Amino acid sequence: MPVLATVLGHPRIGIARELKKALEAYWSGATPAESLLATAQEIRTRHWSIMKEAGLDQVPCNDFSLYDHMLDMAVTVGAIPDRFQKIADPLNRYFALARGVQDRGAGIDLSPLEMTKWFDTNYHYIVPELDADQSFVLNPTKISAELAEAQALGITPRPVLPGPVTFLKLSKYADDVAAGLDTLELLPRLLPAYEELLALLAGHGVTWVQLDEPCLCFELDPASQQAYRTALTRLAGGAKRPGLLVATYFGSIGENLGLVTDSGCEALHLDLVRAPEELDGVLAALPAGMKLSLGVVDGRNVWRADLEQAHRTVRRAVDALGSERVMVASSCSLLHVPVDLDAETRLDAELKSWMAFAAQKVAEVRLLADAAQQEEPQDAAFVQAGAALARRRAAAAADNPAVRHRAEQVTEAMTRRGTPFAERSARQKRRFDLPLLPTTTIGSFPQSREVREARSKWRSGALDSEGYQDFLRAEIRRCIEKQEKLGLDVLVHGEFERTDMVEYFGEQLDGFAFTQNGWVQSYGSRCVKPPVLYGNVARPRPMTVEWSSFAQSLSKRPVKGMLTGPVTILQWSFVRNDQPRSETCREIALALRDEVADLEQAGISMIQMDEPAIREGLPLRRRDWPEYLEWAVAAFSLSTAGVSDETQIHTHMCYSEFGDILPSIVAMDADVLSIESSRSRMELLSHFRQYGYPNDVGPGIYDIHSPRVPTVEEMTTLLGLAAEVLPAERLWVNPDCGLKTRGWPEIEASLANMVQAARQIRLRLTPG
């Protein structure tokens, strides 16, 4: 029997982002639900047909979503919070859960469910909200409909479901439910819905179901282990059900292997791109009859597979298990890569020959499955892939030896400020003479319609570079004037010249390429187009100095130079896989270090290096955290530590759950840290109460994710709380994050209140 070929999921957004357009048209009221649903069906049909034609033996189904697969599962098991029940129309209710809804006339004002990052990706899922006495009722409408569509096309669909344990572990209780309860306690109530669903699918002729259980790649506490034992054995014990493929990805299954192998489930999927070392142990431990799905084609990156190496892996598995027990697959869902490389007409031909998007990865999987029987595959496609890889290696070796050499010469001393914070801080205080509780913002100001229009005119040639630069200078001037008038103490230039905080730097650095259509879903209808970091990173010329100098020339107050940190640039790009991420990160850090030096040279006295993505780069397993954190912190420090004591380094992060990585944040040794916190202030402050923080810190007191204008009183309350936990001399006053998605009127009102709040607390703290 031949080795089967399959993938864990397909991108949903469509090659031309059709889903995005259809969703946004529907949300705006421009089109009826029927058009949205028709587009969605077209997209599914197209993707299934592509996978069928490519010869996949099992094709994912129910991996499509109008918004998010976790939200779909919540709806499928009837986990819809009561407050949404008043919306009768299922489609509107679904989008209300995802996006919230405000209809003053109807007296409806519902905030959406929380959204958070899917493991270590930049995809955001909707966090199901459960009740302590939650009941689950199966609603198979979506999955049944999509199954029928797929079957009508004559393919063998393999429905994909978030597994029950991952579903519960990623869910949360509503705020008003007593804290400390574990969502896993709901497992006995949830499992019957899964059992019912599996029986139903079997009744429809489904032979395999894919249960996504990436939480098996975490270190599991005893309760979670027990939950896995209970869930998997119980589902495997069902009388009438399809075969169960338990899919793990984004890490290694490690010590959790037994939870699957002892369960009675028929198949296990491994992410062998992340954890290639796992194969032999698993082959030895797999019970007779259990099938193994080999995730050898990278679902997280855009490079062509090393087919020879993957082939050896497949052969090892076939030798150990026999071909009938082996499947070849993508490492994870292809959701995280763009749709089709063929749509790229402007990429450098050589670079393009190194790459593979979803469509190409599907073909690679098929090729590897076919080649499993041959010792030395001679297939033309195999030979071609090998030649491209050889060319890529040769090109990499010859790329930029100077950069590699410089990276090798980095010393520990280069990653440390020469002087301890206390002394630096004293000098900086003398230099800047700021008031107690200095006020500032995070960097960006509104990317208004005018800003976007000017940029697109310039890109299309309708506006020449000089005209565009004049426009930007005028925006900066206006922005500086407004900040001065508002009474802010430390200013920013507004970032009007940037579309995206990573793209802007990638476009100016060597080693990066850009796609035309390389969109990847970030959440709902939102997509990002990550740069492709393919070579040694170098900075041919200064990137931000002109804008920062211009902005500084307009004010006597300090204007912060604004940079994106090395870890964030790494994390939000598709990066080369032929050298460790840590090395690539160090190259980026060196380029940024030069930028920092140039900014300092140009008289910029405060430089902010944003690292909003440092936390999402954490590996799934805690035991792998120290290694990652060490090089991530070292890269940040390398980029910032070259300055004199009087130059003040700021950083910014967009999350508040940082208790567990606080020592690393301390080790970054930024003079000032601004951090998101207003949405979960208690959490942040409790971390500070417990561990303190030795340098200056600005806990965000204005939630920029909402258009509401916070009152002076709200902000004085927050500041007062912060001042109880941290010494006032080390406290800054700022919003949660950049203001680029907001509008000027609400910002001006909010910042005026923020400045007012700072003044009031200052008075309170310095009587007389």
Closest contact distance (angstroms) between CB of 675 and Zn ion is 8
Does the protein bind ligand GLN through residue 740 (CB under 6 A)? yes
Does the protein bind Zn ion through residue 737 (CB under 5 A)? yes
Q: How far apart are CA 9 and CA 12, in angstroms?
A: 9
Does the protein bind ligand GLN through residue 610 (CB under 6 A)? yes
Edge-to-edge strand list for the sheet holding 59-61: 4-5, 326-330, 291-297, 267-271, 243-247, 208-212, 157-162, 59-61
Q: How far apart are CA 441 and CA 736, in angstroms?
A: 8
DSSP codes, 277-333: GGHHHHHHHPPTT-EEEEEEE-SSS-BPP-HHHHHHHHHHHHHHH-GGGEEEEESS-
Query: What are the two backbone dihedrals, phi and then psi, of residue 347, each rounded to the nearest 5 degrees?
Result: -70, 145
Does the protein bind ligand GLN through residue 738 (CB under 6 A)? yes
The site partner of 443 among Zn ion, ligand GLN, none (C-beta below 5 to 8 Å per kind) is ligand GLN
The site partner of 740 among Zn ion, ligand GLN, none (C-beta below 5 to 8 Å per kind) is ligand GLN
The site partner of 562 among Zn ion, ligand GLN, none (C-beta below 5 to 8 Å per kind) is ligand GLN
Measured N-to-C along each axis, helices 681-691 and 712-725 cross at an angle, to the nearest 10 degrees, of 20
Of 737, 747, 751, 758, the one binding ligand GLN by CB under 6 A: 737
For ligand GLN, give the closer residue by CB, 490 or 562. 562
Alpha carbon 298 to its chain centroid, in Å, reads: 17
> Total number of residues binding ligand GLN (CB under 6 A)?
13
Does the protein bind Zn ion through residue 675 (CB under 5 A)? no
Give catalytic status of residue 204 as yes or no.
no
Q: Which of the residues 69, 405, 650, 705 is marked catalytic? A: 705
Q: How far apart are CA 618 and CA 657, in angstroms?
A: 13
User: Any idea what DSSP says for residue 665?
Assistant: H
- Of 334, 393, 425, which is closest to residue 579 (Cα–Cα)? 393
Of 15, 501, 509, 668, the one binding ligand GLN by CB under 6 A: 501
Of 480, 520, 562, 675, the one binding ligand GLN by CB under 6 A: 562
The site partner of 576 among Zn ion, ligand GLN, none (C-beta below 5 to 8 Å per kind) is none
In this chain, which stretch among 88-96, 195-203, 323-331, 733-741 interacts with ligand GLN, using CB under 6 A? Answer: 733-741
In this chain, which stretch among 438-446, 539-547, 637-645, 686-694 interacts with ligand GLN, using CB under 6 A? Answer: 438-446
- Is residue 198 within 8 Å of 209, Cβ to Cβ? yes
One-letter amino acid of 348? D
Q: How far apart are CA 395 and CA 737, in angstroms?
A: 40
Of 654, 685, 719, 754, the one binding ligand GLN by CB under 6 A: 654
Regarding beta strands 267-271 and 59-61, do their DSSP bridges make them parallel or antiparallel, or are they unpaired?
unpaired
Does the protein bind Zn ion through residue 492 (CB under 5 A)? no
Of 166, 248, 331, 444, the one binding ligand GLN by CB under 6 A: 444
For Zn ion, give the closer residue by CB, 177 or 662. 662
Helix ranges (DSSP H) in 16-129: 18-27, 33-53, 69-76, 90-99
In this chain, which stretch among 349-357, 464-472, 663-671, 737-745 interacts with ligand GLN, using CB under 6 A? Answer: 737-745
Of 97, 654, 719, 726, the one binding Zn ion by CB under 5 A: 654
- Is residue 644 within 8 Å of 600, Cβ to Cβ? yes
Number of residue whose CB is nearest ligand GLN: 738
DSSP codes, 204-227: TT--EEEEE-GGGGS---HHHHHH
The site partner of 337 among Zn ion, ligand GLN, none (C-beta below 5 to 8 Å per kind) is none
- Residues in contact with Zn ion, shown as a per-residue x/- string from 580 to 619 under the rule CB under 5 A: --------------------------------x-------
Residue 612 to residues 282, 356, 637: CA-CA distances in angstroms?
37, 28, 15
Q: Which residues are catalytic?
A: 705
State the residues that interact with ligand GLN by CB under 6 A. 442-444, 495, 501, 562, 610, 612, 652, 654, 737-738, 740
